[in-house]
Amino acid sequence: MLVLAYVKNLKTHLGYEAFRRAGDYGFKLSVISCNPLLSALVKELEISKMEVVYKEMIKRRIGPSLISFNVVINGLCKAGKLNKASDVIEDMKVWGVSPNVITYNTLIDGYCKMGKIGKMYKADATLKEMVANGICPNEVTFNILIDGFCKDGNVSAAMKVFAEMQSQGLKPNVVTYNSLINGLCCDGKNKMVVEASDSFNDMPKQGIAHNVTTYNILIDGYCKAGRIEDAFAVRITMMSRGICPNVSTYNCLIAGLCRKGDVEAAWNLMDEMVSKDLRADVVTYNILIDSLCSKGESRKAMRLLDEMSRKGLKPSHVTYNSLMDGYSDKCRQLVGEDSSSQGAKFTIFNCFDLSTGTLACTVKEGVKLYFYNIRFAYVEKERNLAIERAIGDALGQGISAKKDSYFLKGSGTLFGAYAGGFVGEASLGHFHFGYLVGSHLEELLIQKICSFYDQISSLESLKPSKDVDMLLTQLILTCMPPNPIDVNNLSKKIQEIRSKLIRLCGEAEGLLEAHFSAVLASFENPLDHLRIFPYYSNYLKLSHLEFTILKQHYPLVPSQVAFVGSGPLPLTAIVLASKHLTTTSFHNYDIDPSANSRALRLASSHPDLSKRFFFHTADILNVANGLKEFDVVFLAALVGMDKEEKIRVIHHLAKYMAPGAILMLRSAHGARAFLYPVVDPWDLVGFEVLSVFHPIDEVINSVVIARKHHQMSIQSSSSKDQQARPQHNTAASYQVF
């Protein structure tokens, strides 16, 4: 019942963990609990987890039902795992469950959407198997096949299926006709569009009403065939019949006008769309951007890209391809004009031969786009090496830029012109290539982060939910790759956004820890289940990193450790105490009594940690002489949400910690400083900075370790700025992992 409850409350990840734990403890679940979990995992595209649940059901002898098998087949088809989906039908036979029409329809649909040669052969073979097993195809079966053949470019085969459908007494519906008309209109050939028009006119005779999709398909067909007047006539007809044009209708017409070269009419149509409260989407902008780029108006196209960003629309690879093509063509025109007139082939070397920097401004936007595309198209898959690989690939493939024309078309040209241009500019002392590329990356990255801030700040609640988890995960992935951003040099407006974003992230982190602390407390042995916390592996790595650094500078085993800002789920203290400092006493300080109460509930369940963990509800600024008892003080990243608060806490610790005691702090570096406050070495007045570590993996926080001076006096912040900054500690070790 716990699994079912989690799924019904849209907490699928917890339902999945509950399912796994039930198996660990030998509890047998029913298929009634498992089916909703399977469906939820498929809906959230967690197909690998769905496979785990399915395999465990088989292993635990939880008899899957017909619904179970159909859901699993659907999930595997969505993931493109058609062979595994076919194997599930064999599993059904073993369990004595007969496939039904939904089973086969799902599999046929999967084959139709494969995107591979021979896909329709497999779909047709599945249909024959279906009939051989005594299961009659229905309207959905035929609609899937007709749509599949049409999208495969085989309209004649689709027509045969259409005739077979009617011969079996099944009546085509609007979905059937929409697929056929779309297939006929696809190539934009006038003869085929005429046939599409005939099918369109045949629908009312069959008692089938047109819908907005039908009209849009025919309008698009007329536009592709160059029959713009007929397309607008269809729009008038649809409105006269009470069907309102939607964004797709306008997109088809705008594309048709752009194809014809009537860009002014296209813009007027966009204005009309806005006046009807229809919001232009990514497709609308892609059409207009491509049209502008094809006319050599790349700068106007860039302004549209900026407008998309302001409106919260995420550009697609199509957007960037159009823009990069536009800048590539412009570059070729400017650089290769003379060479072309002499019959020479334009190559990357033409660009490197430049002696002036006149092209720098022309192509810098193209390179900016290239990096933007690489950064945000691939960062989620290969976040740490994306930029390095992109640069290497671009330079390595520059001579044959057409090798990947759909994504990197003209990349060699752009890089060549960009480098050549900046050779000229550098000779005048104006620019540095790396600096300008970096500045563009920084600008784009900050824009992306600010967009996340807008979305996160507009949420009603920061409690764990699908929306909160998704936005925070995307924000973290965006900030994670190493970059040279110095948050101290940001504008005042961006500094304010950063400060607010850190507080929002801190609040969300606290709510997440409180939630999982409560979940863990429901177990008999809570600390045996820490892995259910989403970021547990990060805490393991960070704690190991901190322990390694501590050992380098403090070889003794500390007797007493204080952790300031322990929170409701004191994972760092738990990991350090259980895996590294197994005899040390930990004193956990937190200002929130409810956080300490939750943390105490977890620690008290452990036979060892319950004796070595102590919890204090106090503001650390009110703790004085007690700080002298500790060999090491850990300061959590979110104690002191801004620079001033953090420095105030550090000064207090410097005043009351024992001479020679170690202070370990968490900081942030680069764009990660949008997630956590930064501690600079010169902020540590009264301490000797020993090491600063900036990880470049999924561990977000930098680690700073410092030793309390044997004699110290607190300087004012103004004298600190004047005296401490220039006096860098040459003994400190600054390392990047």
Structure confidence at residue 623 (pLDDT): 94
Q: Give the residues of the chain that fall short of pLDDT 70.
A: 1, 115-118, 327-441, 711-737
- Cα 334 to Cα 354, 378, 400, 411, 570: the distances in Å are 11, 31, 19, 16, 61
pTM of the model: 0.50
Q: Could you identify the residue written with the tokens 């105030």?
A: 648
Q: Given CA atoms 400, 406, 409, 411 in this order, what sign does their dihedral have?
A: negative
Separation CA 47–CA 84 (nearest Å): 12
From residue 423, alpha-carbon distances to 364, 430, 432, 614 in Å are 13, 10, 8, 63
CB 440 within 8 A of CB 373: no
For residue 138, report the phi and psi dihedrals to the nearest 5 degrees: -115, -170
Q: What is the pLDDT of residue 152?
A: 85
Cβ–Cβ contacts within 10 Å for residue 735, how many?
A: 11
pLDDT at 547: 94
| Number of helices (H), then strands (E), in the chain | 32, 8
DSSP-based three-state secondary structure for 426: helix
pLDDT of res. 701: 87
Q: Which two tokens stand for residue 424?
A: 């000229």
Cβ-based burial of 20 (10 A; exposed 0-12, middle 13-18, buried ≥19): middle
pLDDT at 355: 38
DSSP 3-state of 342: coil
Q: For the chain, what are the domain ranges? A: 511-736
Q: Does domain 511-736 have CATH number 3.20.20.210?
A: no
Say which DSSP state 578 is in: I
Element (H, E) at 692: strand 687-694
**Per-residue pLDDT at 534:** 83
Kindly list the distances between the CA atom of residue 204 and the CA atoms of 177, 209, 246, in Å, as whole numbers in the listed order: 11, 6, 22
- Please report the sign of the dihedral spanned by the C-alpha atoms of residue 69, residue 74, residue 80, residue 83: positive
Q: How many CB atoms lie within 10 A of CB 377?
A: 16
